[in-house]
Structures are given as C-alpha cells and as structure tokens.
Structure 1
C-alpha cells in the first residue's frame, strides 16, 4: 500500500479518532478525573497498516509514545470500521482509594463506541 493510501485511511479515520478521544475522556470524567488523556488529539508517533489474521483485511494501527520511546497507547481500526483503543493512565482512582486506574479503553464502531477503565489494586502504603 502506498503512502497516499495510508494517508487516505488516516483521513477517513479522523472522525472515529475524535469519537475515541471523547469516549476515553468521558470514562475518565465519570470516574472523577477532570483531565483527559495527555495524548488526546495529538499526532501519532507511528502508523502502519497491518494484515488482520482473521479475514486478511488491512487494519490501521496508530501508536503514541513518549519522547523517550515509552508506550502511551494505541488505536487499531479494522477494515470493517471496528476500532479498539487502549491508553495508559496510571493514576490513583479519585473515588476508590484502594484502586489505581491502569488504562482507559474504547471499542466498537463509529457512533456506537463503548469505553471503560481498567483498574488495578493499589499497593499498600
């Protein structure tokens, strides 16, 4: 696939990316965190097309990393438009002190995204 084709897939996915950012922010807000994801709306660090192992269609994969190359999160959009996004949060849960918010995830199709937070037990102080 050419660079122009990859850019077209990215352009076509922009509305879905916007919905993903909103779904992730809504999950964080529902948990009592007013801040969104630091990477929300920022350019990806790396993007590529990957072959889907199930149906062999081309899936769009975008990844965000820190300047030191630490992983922040990714979005995968399958050929049929289904998306999965996962971004690290790593903050104490503001309403549940026994828990830490490890990540925020979103999945589904444009106009029908679901999202949730992945929690881990907090370490004993």
Structure 2
C-alpha cells in the first residue's frame, strides 16, 4: 500500500471496522448466523485515492475482490468524513421464503451509521440469469 494511502487508511481504520460490525448486526437481524456470512474486512480491500472533479478533494476508495478479480464490494471514505460501504451477500434470505439478499450497504459519518439491505424476489433473480 502506498504511504499516502496507508496514512489515509490509518485515519479511517476504526470507523471502517465499526461499519463492518454494523453490517454484521444487520445480517444477524435478517436471520443469518455468524457462520453463514463472512463479510470482508476493511484491511482486505485494495485502496486508491480518487480526486473529485468539482471539489478537487480526494476520496479513499477500497475495493474487495474475489480470487478471479471479480468485485465483491466497495468502501468510499470522503474528505468531509462521510462514507459509503457496500458488500455483496448473494444468498437466499434465511427467513423470508422467495426472497434473495443481494447486498448490504452502510453510509453516514463517524457519529451515525445507517444501513440498508438490497433484496430481490427469487423470480427476479431467475429472470436475470
């Protein structure tokens, strides 16, 4: 990891770990057992800095990938302290028959972490395939 990126990562590390903890809380509310879901850790992402075209400020962007380089999720930590994090779940809903959990997302700031789960009916997933 580049030194500048490592410094930026160090600054958001505690928040990033709290975000993942919050995502685990949400998967538990859905009915997933701890062993059913293994979310990626922030340290496992590949990071880069992206410059915002209008503000010229840098965003720390991390991407999680599988062994073949397929995208599993993304973290974005903005210069103003806000963030967006999303990870793929890609599993049948554990308690709602006929539903599929696509991904889970968190956004907010150090003081407030909001979450949202993306669900699809099984019929829509089969239609996409």
TM-score normalised according to structure 2 size: 0.86
Other structure's SS at 1:12 match = helix
Q: Matches of 2:17 and 2:95 in 1, distance apart?
A: 27
Other structure's SS at 1:123 match = helix
Counterpart in the other structure of 1:25: 24
Counterpart in the other structure of 2:39: 38
Which structure ranks higher in relative contact order (CA pairs < 8 Å, sequence separation ≥ 6)? 1
Counterpart in the other structure of 1:10: 9
Gaps (5+ residues) in structure 2? none
Say how many residue pairs are matched. Answer: 122
Whether the aligned pair in 1 keeps the contact of 2:39 and 2:87 (CA below 8 Å) is no
Counterpart in the other structure of 2:96: 96
TM-score normalised according to structure 1 size: 0.89
Q: Matches of 1:69 and 1:112 in 2, distance apart?
A: 32
Q: CA deviation at 1:123?
A: 2.7
Counterpart in the other structure of 1:79: 79
Other structure's SS at 2:33 match = coil
Q: 1:63 to 1:41 in 2, by over 3 A?
A: closer
